[in-house]
Amino acid sequence: MSEHFQADFNAPERLDADHIFHFQCSPGLSCFTECCGDVTIALTPYDVVRLKNALGVDSEKFLDDYTIIIPKQNKLIPMVLLKMNEPDKRCPFVTPQGCSVYEHRPWPCRMFPLDVNDDGTFSLLPGAKKCRGLGQHIGQRVSDWLIEQGVPVYDEMNTLLGQITSPLRAQQPEIDNPQVLKMFFMSLYNLDKFRNFIFSSTFLDRFEIENTRVEKIKRSDVELYKFSIDWIKFGIFGQKLFQVK
């Protein structure tokens, strides 16, 4: 075990953004892609957007083929998990050469071997102790590494999601209408179907939506995602973000 490998595991339990840690993953490591198996990866709506576009499929096909959707009692948002291969429990996108969707990999994969604590600091994941990447001599600041991994845009999208999930945890609205639950899920995770609903139903005839925004949600999944967040705030929490014609 190298000196740097030992030093990283003797590091403070909570690391701030300026902490220097030593990590580099590469095919030459004996544990390469071991972290891609026997793991539970929960997907956010933005994870689904990135992955389905990387694969060139629509969101419904991605959800059908690559996820397991687990309803949670008294919760509006079910848990959406990446479906692992059978029987080896490996990620469907991992190859001997590495991740086949690396540029669009989910947030948990980008963060490895780090996790975020409730106070905004960082810590090494417990399962990372077998990772030989932490024994490399490449030292870098946590904040610089997060930028290099493309984490900020995921954090931005997850902050938008938090504008829904945080009030839901506080209010716990009781909604037992299955159609409302389906609409809620569709507008978050099945964005291609949600877009079709907007443009093929009477939706745009019933609500005042600026033409520029209509064009944006027609062309951009990210803009549609932002629109869906506002739509849920309007429909579930009664925020006056839309005007009825």
Residue 166 counted as domain residue: no
Residue 7 has pLDDT above 70, yes or no: no
Contact of 245 with 207, CB cutoff 8 Å:
yes
How many whole angstroms separate alpha carbon 132 and alpha carbon 73? Answer: 39
Residue 37 has pLDDT above 80, yes or no: yes
If asked whether residues 103 and 211 sit together in one domain, one would say no
Give pLDDT, residue 168.
Answer: 81
If asked whether residues 47 and 103 sit together in one domain, one would say yes
Contact of 13 with 122, CB cutoff 8 Å:
no
What secondary structure letter does DSSP report for 84? P
For residue range 120-164, list pLDDT tens digits in order.
899 888 777 778 888 777 788 999 999 999 999 999 999 999 999
If asked whether residues 127 and 233 sit together in one domain, one would say no
If asked whether residues 136 and 179 sit together in one domain, one would say no
Residue 161 counted as domain residue: no
If asked whether residues 123 and 179 sit together in one domain, one would say no
If asked whether residues 22 and 134 sit together in one domain, one would say yes
If asked whether residues 67 and 101 sit together in one domain, one would say yes
- Provide the domain count of the chain: 2
If asked whether residues 122 and 187 sit together in one domain, one would say no
Give pLDDT, residue 178.
Answer: 74
Calculate mean pLDDT across residues 225-240. Answer: 92
- Length of the chain in residues, anyone? 245
Residue 158 counted as domain residue: no
pLDDT over 70 percentage in the chain = 91
